[in-house]
Amino acid sequence: MDCGLAAEGHLPGAANVSFYQPIQGWTPWQIARRAGYALFGISQGTEANPNFLDEVRGLVPDPESTPVVLYCNLGGSLEPTKNDKNGQQTRSMVAAFELVRDGFKNVAVLKGGYTDWVAKDREIEVFE
Protein backbone atom coordinates (compact mmCIF):
# COMPACT_ATOMS: atom_id res chain seq x y z
CA MET A 1 0.00 0.00 0.00
CA ASP A 2 1.46 3.31 -1.13
CA CYS A 3 1.02 5.81 1.71
CA GLY A 4 2.68 8.67 -0.16
CA LEU A 5 1.20 11.09 -2.65
CA ALA A 6 1.87 8.61 -5.52
CA ALA A 7 2.74 11.34 -8.03
CA GLU A 8 5.45 9.39 -9.91
CA GLY A 9 3.88 5.96 -9.91
CA HIS A 10 3.49 2.97 -7.63
CA LEU A 11 4.39 -0.68 -7.18
CA PRO A 12 2.27 -3.09 -9.25
CA GLY A 13 -1.04 -3.86 -7.57
CA ALA A 14 -0.54 -1.34 -4.78
CA ALA A 15 -3.43 0.75 -3.55
CA ASN A 16 -2.76 4.39 -2.71
CA VAL A 17 -3.96 5.76 0.62
CA SER A 18 -2.07 8.94 1.41
CA PHE A 19 -1.06 9.31 5.05
CA TYR A 20 -0.51 13.02 4.49
CA GLN A 21 -2.43 15.29 2.15
CA PRO A 22 -1.92 18.82 0.86
CA ILE A 23 -3.05 21.35 3.48
CA GLN A 24 -6.81 21.85 3.15
CA GLY A 25 -8.65 24.96 4.30
CA TRP A 26 -7.58 28.32 5.69
CA THR A 27 -7.87 28.16 9.47
CA PRO A 28 -5.25 30.19 11.39
CA TRP A 29 -3.41 26.91 12.12
CA GLN A 30 -3.36 25.91 8.45
CA ILE A 31 -2.18 29.38 7.41
CA ALA A 32 0.65 29.11 9.97
CA ARG A 33 1.59 25.66 8.63
CA ARG A 34 1.68 27.00 5.08
CA ALA A 35 3.91 29.87 6.23
CA GLY A 36 6.22 27.44 8.03
CA TYR A 37 6.62 25.31 4.93
CA ALA A 38 7.14 28.44 2.79
CA LEU A 39 10.02 29.55 5.05
CA PHE A 40 11.81 26.37 3.97
CA GLY A 41 10.97 26.91 0.30
CA ILE A 42 8.24 24.28 0.20
CA SER A 43 5.25 25.53 -1.78
CA GLN A 44 2.92 22.61 -1.07
CA GLY A 45 2.82 21.81 2.65
CA THR A 46 1.06 18.75 4.00
CA GLU A 47 -1.07 17.74 6.95
CA ALA A 48 -2.31 14.40 8.26
CA ASN A 49 -5.07 12.80 6.19
CA PRO A 50 -7.97 12.57 8.67
CA ASN A 51 -9.52 9.75 6.59
CA PHE A 52 -6.41 7.53 6.45
CA LEU A 53 -7.62 4.82 8.84
CA ASP A 54 -11.12 4.71 7.34
CA GLU A 55 -9.69 4.46 3.81
CA VAL A 56 -7.37 1.60 4.79
CA ARG A 57 -10.20 -0.21 6.60
CA GLY A 58 -12.21 0.06 3.38
CA LEU A 59 -9.46 -1.81 1.50
CA VAL A 60 -8.44 -4.39 4.12
CA PRO A 61 -11.15 -7.01 4.74
CA ASP A 62 -9.73 -8.36 8.00
CA PRO A 63 -7.32 -6.12 9.97
CA GLU A 64 -6.51 -9.05 12.26
CA SER A 65 -5.07 -11.32 9.56
CA THR A 66 -4.74 -9.51 6.22
CA PRO A 67 -1.11 -8.57 5.53
CA VAL A 68 -0.58 -4.85 4.92
CA VAL A 69 2.78 -3.79 3.44
CA LEU A 70 3.29 -0.04 3.45
CA TYR A 71 5.82 1.99 1.53
CA CYS A 72 6.69 5.60 0.83
CA ASN A 73 9.66 7.10 -1.02
CA LEU A 74 12.17 6.09 1.67
CA GLY A 75 10.67 3.04 3.37
CA GLY A 76 12.01 3.57 6.86
CA SER A 77 13.45 1.20 9.41
CA LEU A 78 13.63 0.62 13.16
CA GLU A 79 17.29 -0.33 12.80
CA PRO A 80 19.65 2.29 14.30
CA THR A 81 21.40 4.50 11.77
CA LYS A 82 24.51 6.65 11.95
CA ASN A 83 22.36 9.72 12.59
CA ASP A 84 19.48 8.25 14.59
CA LYS A 85 19.64 5.49 17.18
CA ASN A 86 15.88 4.92 16.77
CA GLY A 87 16.02 4.19 13.05
CA GLN A 88 14.62 6.13 10.13
CA GLN A 89 11.20 7.67 10.76
CA THR A 90 9.31 8.05 7.51
CA ARG A 91 5.77 8.49 6.27
CA SER A 92 5.31 4.71 5.95
CA MET A 93 6.72 4.05 9.43
CA VAL A 94 4.35 6.57 11.02
CA ALA A 95 1.44 5.13 9.02
CA ALA A 96 2.39 1.60 10.17
CA PHE A 97 2.43 2.79 13.79
CA GLU A 98 -1.07 4.26 13.39
CA LEU A 99 -2.40 1.04 11.84
CA VAL A 100 -0.95 -1.12 14.63
CA ARG A 101 -2.33 1.30 17.20
CA ASP A 102 -5.74 0.93 15.51
CA GLY A 103 -5.68 -2.87 15.84
CA PHE A 104 -4.07 -4.06 12.61
CA LYS A 105 -1.96 -7.13 13.41
CA ASN A 106 0.00 -7.96 10.23
CA VAL A 107 1.73 -4.71 9.21
CA ALA A 108 5.13 -4.33 7.55
CA VAL A 109 7.12 -1.53 5.88
CA LEU A 110 9.00 -2.06 2.62
CA LYS A 111 12.65 -1.42 3.46
CA GLY A 112 14.14 1.14 1.09
CA GLY A 113 10.70 2.16 -0.15
CA TYR A 114 9.81 3.31 -3.65
CA THR A 115 13.22 4.89 -4.26
CA ASP A 116 15.08 1.63 -3.64
CA TRP A 117 12.51 -0.34 -5.68
CA VAL A 118 13.03 1.93 -8.71
CA ALA A 119 16.83 1.99 -8.27
CA LYS A 120 16.81 -1.81 -8.59
CA ASP A 121 14.95 -1.49 -11.94
CA ARG A 122 11.86 -3.25 -10.61
CA GLU A 123 8.52 -2.82 -12.34
CA ILE A 124 6.30 0.15 -11.51
CA GLU A 125 2.89 1.31 -12.69
CA VAL A 126 2.34 4.92 -13.72
CA PHE A 127 -0.98 6.66 -13.20
CA GLU A 128 -2.71 7.81 -16.38
Q: Report the catalytic residues.
A: 72
Beta carbons within 8 Å of 30's beta carbon, 6+ residues apart: 23, 24, 47
Q: What is the pLDDT of residues 23-68, one digit of tens each?
A: 999 999 999 999 999 999 998 898 999 999 999 999 998 999 999 9
* CA 100/CA 79 separation, integer angstroms: 18
Residue 7 is predicted with a pLDDT of: 62
Helix-then-strand count for the chain, H and E: 4, 4
User: According to the model, what pLDDT value does residue 89 have?
Assistant: 83
The amino acid occupying position 24 is Q
**In this predicted structure, what is the pLDDT of residue 128?**
63
